[in-house]
Amino acid sequence: TVPALMAGNTVVLKPAQLTPWSGSEYGRIVAEETDIPAGVFNVVVSNANEVGAALSADPRVDMITFTGSTATGRAILAAGAPTVKKTLLELGGKSAHIVLDDADFGSALPMAAMMACVMSGQSCILPSRILLPRSRYDEGIEVLKNMMENFPVGDPWTPGNMQGPQISDTQRQKVLGLIRSGIDSGARLVTGGGIPENLPVGYYTQPTLLADVDPDSQVAQEEIFGPVLTVTPYDTDDEAIAIANNSIYGLSGEVSSADVDRAFAVATRMRTGNVTFNGKSHFGINSPFGGTKQSGLGYRNGEEGYKEYLDAKTIGMPDTAAS
């Protein structure tokens, strides 16, 4: 919303149905703590899909920007098509983490496990597909297993806990269903796979590690949005890149290696909008962030992101300089 306001637009913010508080508080701060005129920034909270659909279809709305699932993004595009509405979409992801055979497993893999569990795995940029070199496969599985088995799960208000519940029971059931589908398709359950016995209240899910995952299986292809890592072995860099690119999504990715040039060569061949190297974040206010394939349209941040909220205009004027 900030780039849109900076570019001189009026904004209507509609928070997600299950997470309205942050958007509402944002609206209060703008109203009470800034000199932005009334009506320039608006927050509309609703538990009905009709509000989003109405905004997407209304000809008075010049642009829609949305963060969420690819399915909802398709619906927004369809609703805005009759008015050829400009649309900025940040959608789903199924990112791959290519761990090369010269990587520091003691650094890369604990971080990968932590990223899968914090926010309960509910992150569109989560590199949830771990690709390990076959020569070090068992070593990598053991590091991930130890980290995920001991990850602190529980009430996020309790100091020390790092993974809370899923956003809803519906989401938890989806996560558990995808875990079952992975096992049914031949994946090996290393740890987790269910509901923590000590947390019967709340939508908690055990940190889950699936090994020997078929890269074409549902659990390897569909965004889970839960604390689940899938692990697949590879033999060559080319094979790892092919597996990483075997997805309808292209939002993020990661490469771990001791060789900067080798990692860069791999990263440039990954069909994704953003790549992290050895845990070095690619996020920054000056860095464009966007996805390829079905992970979205357009960019946030950077000059590219700012320009999304502007329309270019060319005006031809007569030459007033007499010759």
What tens digit of pLDDT does each residue of 281-309 get?
767 888 999 999 999 999 999 999 999 99
Answer whether 233's CB lies under 8 Å from 137's CB.
yes
Question: What's the pLDDT score for residue 233?
Answer: 99
Percent of the chain with pLDDT over 90: 91
Q: How far apart are CA 283 and CA 277, in angstroms?
A: 12
Among 48-62, 84-98, 108-122, 179-193, the minimum mean pLDDT is found in 48-62
Higher pLDDT, 123 or 50: 123
Q: To the nearest whole number, what is the mean pLDDT of the chain?
A: 95
Q: Where are the domains of the chain?
A: 2-91+285-307, 96-277
Flag whether pLDDT at 319 surpasses 90: no
Catalytic residue numbers read 90
pTM: 0.94
CATH architecture assignment, domain 2-91+285-307: 3-Layer(aba) Sandwich (3.40)
Pairing state between β 96-99 and 253-256: parallel
pLDDT tens digits along 58-93: 999 999 999 999 999 999 999 999 999 999 999 999
Class assignment of domain 96-277? alpha beta
Write phi, then psi, for 68 (nearest 5 degrees): 165, -155
Residue with tokens 């050829």: 84
Question: What's the pLDDT score for residue 322?
Answer: 56
Question: What's the pLDDT score for residue 321?
Answer: 60
pLDDT tens digits along 120-140: 999 999 999 999 999 999 999
Residue 126: closest CA among 112, 108, 139: 112
Flag whether pLDDT at 145 surpasses 80: yes
